[in-house]
Amino acid sequence: MVERCTFGIEEEYLLVSLASGRVKAAPSPTLIGRCREVMGQYFAQEMFRSQIEVASPVFANLHEAREFFQHGRCALRSALAEEGLGLYAAASHPNADWLRQLPAASAHYQQLFDDYGHVARRSLLNGLHVHVGVGPGCDRMQLINRLLGWLPLLLVLSTSSPLWQGRSTGYMSYRRVICGEWPHMGLPEALPDWGAYQRYRALLQRTGSMAEKGDFWWAIRPSRRYPTVELRICDGCPHLEDALCIAALFRHLVEHSINHRHQPADCNRELRWVAQENYWRAMRHGRHGQFIGTHEQQPVTAEGWLAQLQEQVPIDSADAERACQHARELLRNGTHADLQLQCLAQAGADGLGKAQALHAVVAVGACN
């Protein structure tokens, strides 16, 4: 019998001017308070004053998640519109001046900026994080090792950061390029089990490489706050259905891994080489890339890779079926990164100036 897992979703948003499309570097405390009232305990200030986060309650199915975020996004948009602001969810803003952004006031974020300087200041980025609950009988590092090879495909589905500083970067997820400047923010280390994870963490703390309450920011990690496996690789998703698709696919993969947890978990160097290579290709090319597939490690398109996932991790729920269908549509028709690039090209063809063209892209990146 398949063990169904609960899950939760965290979304990050930038606050932008509806008139100019620019990031609002210093929104008023009154406005932030209004957003907090709207979302209650699910609201949080992110690392910049111009950035907020919504961390959901625990869900049992996609219907619950859809209802929560439809209501939450709508309520936040209404609150922000009173001051001429909107909610921007794509992973990177096309022309934000990161040097003008102000750190959030909390001691935690102030410490991050002190410790990491320009690396932190450049990280004006929105991510999508998904938590999936894991019972006490499961070794979360072994689960992560089973899931690692599929992470680049989930990144492909989410790509929404092709533009930075007013230019096309040549990457479909430039956010993950910037994430690579941080320590412990790429793919997780090759740790075969929970004991190895604890020893590694203790080593870093003992040698001053990690604070006592510090954390890893890996693309996937065992959460320290909750009994979950947390997906962190994905770009923010302006379209809610894209976020729900990724959450459902990740949950499906975790459930399959839990139900096969008594089989040996691979943690060999060759599989990690493949995962790392596919990760780079996902960042660079998104859905247009050729990837190293799971069938005899032969080249495969993103659509072919999704088909391999469905073959190896058979669909066993309505949520997973809907997610796979939506994923096929994304890979066939384009992700949000494609949409931004198309918008920029069309604006140029229509004779719009650069500022107007980038404003059009910001409108595309707003929450729907």
The secondary structure of 27-85 as a DSSP string is --HHHHHHHHHHHGGGEEE-SBTTEEEEE---BSSHHHHHHHHHHHHHHHHHHHHTTTE
Domains of the chain (ranges, CATH numbers): 7-364 (3.30.590.20)
Q: Give 144-186 pLDDT, tens digit per residue.
A: 999 999 999 999 999 999 999 999 999 999 999 999 999 999 9
Please state the rounded mean pLDDT for residues 82-95: 96
**Residue 109 neighbours by CB distance under 10 Å:** 17
pLDDT computed for residue 265 by the predictor: 60
Query: Would you say 292 and 274 are in contact if contact means Cβ atoms under 8 Å apart?
Result: yes
Choose the most confident range, by mean pLDDT, from 233-237, 312-316, 349-353. Answer: 233-237
pLDDT computed for residue 294 by the predictor: 85
pTM of the model as a whole? 0.97
What rounded mean pLDDT belongs to the chain?
Answer: 94
pLDDT computed for residue 328 by the predictor: 98
Using a pLDDT cut of 90, give the percent of the chain over it: 90
Please state the rounded mean pLDDT for residues 124-133: 98
Task: Using the predicted structure, report yes or no on whether residue 2 has a pLDDT greater than 70.
Answer: no
pLDDT computed for residue 317 by the predictor: 93
Task: Using the predicted structure, report yes or no on whether residue 304 has a pLDDT greater than 90.
Answer: yes
Task: Using the predicted structure, report yes or no on whether residue 282 has a pLDDT greater than 60.
Answer: yes
Q: Give 207-256 pLDDT, tens digit per residue.
A: 999 888 889 999 999 999 999 999 999 999 999 999 999 999 999 999 99
Task: Using the predicted structure, report yes or no on whether residue 267 has a pLDDT greater than 80.
Answer: no
**Closest Cα to residue 210, out of 292, 303, 279, 111?**
111
